[in-house]
Amino acid sequence: MDMKATASNIHPLDPLSSEELARASTIFREASKVSDQAYFACAIPAEPPKAVVLEFEPDMSFDRAVRLVGHDPKERRSFEAIVSLTDGLLTSFNWAVAGQAPVGVGDVKPLFDILYKNPDWIEALKQRGIEDPSKIHVDTWVTPFQPKGMSPQGRIFCGIAFVHEDSADNHYARPVEGLLAYVDTDTGEVVVEDHGVVAVPNEPAEYAADLVAHHRTDLKPLEITQPEGPSFEVDGNLIRWQKWQFRFSVQALEGLVLYDIRYDDGGGLRPILYRASLSDMVVPYGDPSPMHGWKHALDASETLLGHLANSLSLGCDCLGAIRYFDATVLNPDGSTRTIENAVCLHEEDYGILWKHTNVLNPNLKPEVRRSRRLVISMIHTVGNYDYGFYWYFYQDGSIQFEAKLTGVVSAGSASEGTDTAPLVAPQIAAPVHQHLFCMRLDFNVDGGPNSVQEVEVEPLPDGADNPYGSGFKAVTRTLKTEEQAKRNIDPARSRSWKVINPDSKNRVGKPVGYKLLPQASPTLLASENSTHGKRGAFARHNLWVTPYSPDELDCGAGVLSYRHPGGAGLPAFTRANRPIENADVVVWHTFGVTHVPRPEDWPVMPVEYAGFMLMPTGFFDQNPAIDVPPSNSCESK
């Protein structure tokens, strides 16, 4: 069957369809040398070159290709392959040299099958008074370390046990302390580590509506109505709203990916970003105890963030006139699964956009405009944690990215809390940890080439030029090399980074630009030489800048980050210290939170927010939202 991708309804950046995924897996199975035990972890579109995408017209042909990643237990190796859907061929196949395929549903069931039959583990549970293993929920943890006595080649996971009373309860409420079970799912080998018996907490910690004793009763209905429908237009995966235009897709590792973000300021659609996504994240734990010290999950690349997308529901996750989009992912056996309502698109009222009251003329009513923002979002559940990722587009040309962190903190049992694992409830100690998100922002401000500048504010020296001693100035410095561009935040100096197009000037003669305004985000606290430090090295700096390379899409070890020793990604990309001035620049921004758990985070954590803003800085010639009309519902006084 010829599937030359010339159909006018397919764009080079469209997500892979269920048919394309199934066809890729069939082509792979027929051509590859993997054993019959091999299974897929994920499929990722092999994106066409930028030039093909940017010059694409509906009737042009282009190559449609899929990257397939999986694991072969018989070979005890993971693999990475590229299948051309256009030619119907397996075009490349490689066994992984370092690292393994991401962890997915293909791994979890074998782990359970092995562990629940293991006599050492069952005996360790008995020593804790747990006679019935069916009362145990096992949390599967990614395991970067090499457990004693296990093969370094192993497909190794760590099972952490929790007691549950019934299937509907909070199964993180009763952690079984001191017991770690390492399972090699390739060989069936199990190593049980017992660090000593600690009493299992017996208090329930319920959050489900029917298990919470009392609900407050004073909430009146709050309804969002849009009688004429939303103001956005959707054409396949292309979205237009209030002068904004972009494409999106859902990918296995990164989740939501936005492409070719543009704003029409009357002179045409001006490019701002070619591609923007969460490249990876790391969640390192700071409690050095044997139960927690080794934990540092790369929750995007290791555990397939895109596959862990929630099916969102109206009135619960999202309020208003919502447009949902499904996502399709590859199953271990080559079949596909559709996650319904994985992506939510809607508009929100966001307070005031701008206002001024002319106090000199009391006859004039205040001029005020409501701010409206477009939100495109997904929520992912990664074991105990739930992460919502929200892109906001504003009428003033700003773009915001926000991570919402919620779910259940990873906890253990202890009679007393410590500075590294404070008590959040009696007998429940939750280790301190970080959530660090690495964004990949491939800028294309006015079509490029672009440069990145650091802007910060410093006081003027005392002297005749500064007679009040109050002067300060904005200092702008162009970051010329990858080494110079490894930067951290400095809120006291209002440090920000600006991506400019030196060849495109605004009406005051300055290069147009977009500013990355960071929040007060931490960097990685683990030491540089630790496994955490090597594998999560991207989080050592809030900013990195690289010249674009099609081979550098991941800030860490990419699709083979599982059990990878580290050193891949940004530290490797930037080793040659390449020039980044006047180039096709990719900005990498790590932000996040250091989480010192509180009693209020138990039994389920209220949302904590982290993110950053991208603000036009001389990109427009004036406030681009001056043309937003007054709201119809604005009452004149």
From CA 348, how far away is CA 224, in angstroms rounded?
A: 9
Token digits for 526? 């683990």
Least distance in Å: CB of 432 to Cu ion? Answer: 9
* Closest to 72 (Cα-Cα) out of 111, 45, 25, 107: 107
Q: Does residue 385 carry a catalytic annotation?
A: yes
Nearer to Cu ion, 430 or 613 (CB): 430
Nearer to Cu ion, 79 or 285 (CB): 285
Nearer to Cu ion, 16 or 160 (CB): 160
Other CB atoms within 10 Å distance of the CB of residue 337: 13
Nearer to Cu ion, 11 or 595 (CB): 595
For residues 455 and 476, the answer to whether their CB atoms sit within 8 Å is yes
Token digits for 201? 């907490």
Least distance in Å: CB of 343 to Cu ion? Answer: 24
Please report whether residue 295 would count as binding Cu ion according to CB under 5 A: no
Nearer to Cu ion, 99 or 293 (CB): 293
**Sole residue written with tokens 């702008």:** 476
Nearer to Cu ion, 296 or 595 (CB): 595
DSSP for 564-628, written as a single string: --S--SHHHHGGG--B-TTB-EEEEEEEEEEE---GGGSSSEEEEEEEEEEEESSSSSS-TTTTP
Least distance in Å: CB of 435 to Cu ion? Answer: 5
- End-to-end alpha carbon distance in the chain: 69
From CA 69, how far away is CA 125, in angstroms rounded?
A: 36
Nearer to Cu ion, 511 or 592 (CB): 592
Task: For the segment 403-442, give every residue that binds Cu ion (CB under 5 A).
Answer: none
For residues 535 and 280, the answer to whether their CB atoms sit within 8 Å is no
From CA 160, how far away is CA 192, in angstroms rounded?
A: 11
Query: Which residue sits closest to Cu ion, CB atoms considered?
Result: 595
Q: In sequence order, which residues have a C-beta less than 8 Å from that of residue 559 and are 6 or more positions away?
A: 41, 42, 44, 67, 69, 80, 101, 102, 253, 301
Per the document, the length of the chain is 637
Active-site pick, 39, 172, 259, 385 = 385
From CA 625, how far away is CA 596, in angstroms rounded?
A: 40
Task: For the segment 573-602, give every residue that binds Cu ion (CB under 5 A).
Answer: 595
Strands 511-518, 496-505: pairing kind: antiparallel
Q: Does residue 299 carry a catalytic annotation?
A: yes
**Sole residue written with tokens 């701008």:** 354
Least distance in Å: CB of 247 to Cu ion? Answer: 32
Least distance in Å: CB of 410 to Cu ion? Answer: 8
Least distance in Å: CB of 175 to Cu ion? Answer: 16
CA angle at 629 for the pair 623 and 632, rounded to the nearest 5° = 150
Nearer to Cu ion, 273 or 411 (CB): 411
Nearer to Cu ion, 558 or 603 (CB): 603
Least distance in Å: CB of 172 to Cu ion? Answer: 13
**Sole residue written with tokens 């991506």:** 499
From CA 599, how far away is CA 352, in angstroms rounded?
A: 35
From CA 68, how far away is CA 84, in angstroms rounded?
A: 11
Least distance in Å: CB of 534 to Cu ion? Answer: 22
For residue 415, with 0-12 CB atoms within 10 Å meaning exposed, 13-18 middle and 19 or more buried, which class applies?
exposed
How many residues bind Cu ion (CB under 5 A)? The answer is 1
Least distance in Å: CB of 557 to Cu ion? Answer: 23
Task: For the segment 198-227, give every residue that binds Cu ion (CB under 5 A).
Answer: none
From CA 398, how far away is CA 448, in angstroms rounded?
A: 19
From CA 317, how far away is CA 332, in angstroms rounded?
A: 29
Q: Which positions from 462 to 501 touch Cu ion by CB under 5 A, shown as an x/- string?
A: ----------------------------------------
For residue 554, with 0-12 CB atoms within 10 Å meaning exposed, 13-18 middle and 19 or more buried, which class applies?
buried
Active-site pick, 299, 386, 442, 446 = 299
From CA 161, how far away is CA 179, in angstroms rounded?
A: 7
Collapsing DSSP to helix, strand or coil, 112 comes out as helix
Collapsing DSSP to helix, strand or coil, 258 comes out as strand
Nearer to Cu ion, 295 or 373 (CB): 295
Least distance in Å: CB of 190 to Cu ion? Answer: 29
The Cβ-side half-sphere exposure at 79, using a 13 Å CA radius, reads 26
The catalytic site residues sit at 299, 385
User: Given the rule CB under 5 A, which residues bind Cu ion?
Assistant: 595
